[in-house]
Amino acid sequence: MHDSAVLAWMLFAAQALLQLLFIIRALLRPHREPASRLAWVVVIVLVPVAGVIAYVLFGETNLGRARIKRLSEAFDRLPPAGGVAGPSAEASVPDRFVPLFRVGQSVSHYVPVAGNRARLMPDSAAAIDAMVADIDAARESVHVLFYIWLGDGSGLKVAQALCRAARRGVACRAMADDLGSRAFIRSAHWRDMAAAGVKLAAALPVGNPLMRPFKSRIDMRNHRKIVVIDDAVTYCGSQNCADAAFAVKARYAPWVDIMARFEGPVVRQNQHLFASTWMGQCDEDLSPLLTRPLPPPQEGFVAQVIASGAAVRYSAMPETFVALMNAARRELVITTPYYVPDEPIQSALCASARRGVTTRIVFPRRNDSWIVAAASRSYYRDLLEAGVEIHEYVGGLLHAKTLTLDGEVTLIGSANMDRRSFELNAENNILLYDAAFTLEVRARQQVFLDAAPAVARAEVEACSRARQVWNNSIAMLGPVL
C-alpha cells in the first residue's frame, strides 16, 4: 500500500475517532434535551470538522471554572440571599400565586418581600432622565450594570451623572458587558469616568478571542440591566443605556423598551445581585453594604428578584415562565422580542389558550435577528390553532419583556423567551403581586397591542412552502444555536 494511502487511512481513522469522542461528549452532557443531543450528533456526523469546531465553540454552556469559583466565593462572603431583604411575605400572597414565588425563590434564593412601590417610566428618554436625577441626588452609592452601553445622548447622560456623583464623594461603580458594550468600554468616555473616580469593570471579559473558547464560551454574556442608588432606589426592565434610536442597529429603530423605578426591600435584593456580580470579578468586598439595617417597613406590594444565569440552576427561566402560564385563569399577556421556546413553554402557552384563558403574545414585526424571526414564525401555526392571539408590533422594534397575569401579577425584566436567555445569558427580573401596578403594565401592553395587528391563521397558512421549510429548518437548529 502506498504511503499516501496509509496516511489517508490514518487521517480518516483520526477523524472518525475525534467524531466519536465528541458524539459521546454530546450524549453525556447533563441538562440536555434529547432533541438537542440529536441535533449535535447530526451536525458532528454530517460536517465532521466544522461540526467538532462548532461544538467546541457553542456546544456547552461553559462559563469557565475560574469564573464560577469566583462567583461561589462571592456568594460565600455575602449575607445569604434569602434573608438579605427581610422576612418572606409569602403569607401576603393569595394561595394560588404562592407557587410562583416559590419557583422564583428556587432560582436565586430571594424570598418575596412586602412594602415595595414602583413607578412605570413613560418611555426610554424619561427612564434615562429619572436615572440621572436619582444619580444626581445620590449621597452614598450608585451601582449600574448594563449589557449595552452606547456613547450616545442617553449613554453620555448617565456617564456624566456618574462622574458628577463620584467627584462629590459618592461611591460609584459601573459595569458593562465586555462584548455588548465593547465600543464604549474602549472609548474616551469610559476613561473619563475612571478619571473622575468611578470604579469600572467589564463583565465577562473576552480577552484573547482565540484562547477564550478553551476557557469558556465567548457568547455567554451578562444581559442584566441594574441600577441601584443609595440602597433605596432600583430600576428594572428591558432598557439598555442607550437612546431609543439605538445607533448600532438604527434600521430597526425606535427600540421600544419598558423600565420601572422601584423602592422598598426589593432594592436590597438588586443590591445583593449587583454585589455578587461585582465581587465575582473585582477584588472588592461589598458585603458591608448588605448588612446595614433595612429602613422601617412601609405599605407596599410583594415583590421578588429572579436572577438567572449559567451559574444558577438549570432551566430557571423556562420553569418560571411555565409556572406563570399555568397559573393564568382569565388573561395572560406577554411581550417579548425573541421567541425560540423549549417544548414546555410552547405547550404551556397553547394549554393556556385551550383552557379558555385569553392569551395574547406580542412580537416585533421586524426583528433585528433574522434567525430568531424565522424560528419564531415556525411556532405560529400551533399557537394560533390552540387559540393564542399573536400580534406583531409595527412601531419599531418592541424590546419590552413583560408578562401580566389575570390583572394581578407582573413579571418585568431582561429575560427573553429564547434559548439564549434560558441557557447562556445572565438575566434579572422582578416578579410582583399588585393589581394597581399590574394595571399600569397592562395599559402599556395595550399600547403595544394597539400598534400590533393580529396575525391571522389564513396568513400563516398562505405562507409559501419554501418559507415554511426555511422557518422550520432554522427552528430545528434551535437546540444548537
Is 157 part of the annotated catalytic residue set? Answer: no
CA distance 117 to 107: 23
CB contact at 8 A, 380 and 462: no
Describe the chain by its helix, strand, coil percentages, rounded to 5. Answer: 50, 20, 30
The 10 Å CB-count burial string (b at 16+, else e) for 373-387 is bbbbbbbbbebbebe
CA distance 103 to 113: 15
Name the active-site residue from 152, 192, 219, 230: 230
Cβ atoms of 301 and 112 within 8 Å: the answer is no
245 class by beta-carbon count within 10 Å (0-12 exposed, 13-18 middle, 19+ buried): middle
> Is residue 401 among the annotated active site residues?
yes
272 belongs to the catalytic site:
no
CA dist., res. 229 & res. 231, Å (int): 5
Rounded to whole angstroms, the Cα distance separating 192 from 200 reads 11
**Distance, C-alpha 406 to centroid of its chain:** 23
List 225, 272, 342, 434, catalytic entry: 225
What are the cell numbers at 153?
Answer: 445622548
CA distance 421 to 337: 12
225 counts as catalytic: yes
Where would I find the H helices in 280-405?
316-327, 343-354, 370-377, 380-386
Helices 153-167/124-136 angle, 10° precision? 10
Catalytic (active site) residue 31: no
CA distance 168 to 188: 21
- Among 178, 257, 401, 434, which one carries the catalytic annotation? 401
Choosing from 157, 223, 272, 391, which is the catalytic residue?
A: 223
Where residue 351 falls (left for φ over 0; alpha for ψ -120 to 50; beta otherwise) is alpha
Q: Is 399 among the catalytic positions?
A: yes
Burial of 148 (0-12, 13-18, 19+ CB in 10 A): buried
Per annotation, catalytic residue among 152, 192, 382, 406:
406
φ and ψ of 201, to 5 deg: -155, 140
CA 66 – CA 446 distance, rounded (Å)? 45
CA–CA separation, 136 vs 140, rounded Å? 11
| CB 277, CB 308: distance < 8 Å | no
Is there a contact between 360 and 333 (Cβ–Cβ < 8 Å)?
yes
The residue annotated as part of the active site, out of 109, 157, 189, 399, is 399
Length of the chain: 481
Question: Which residues are designated catalytic?
Answer: 223, 225, 230, 399, 401, 406
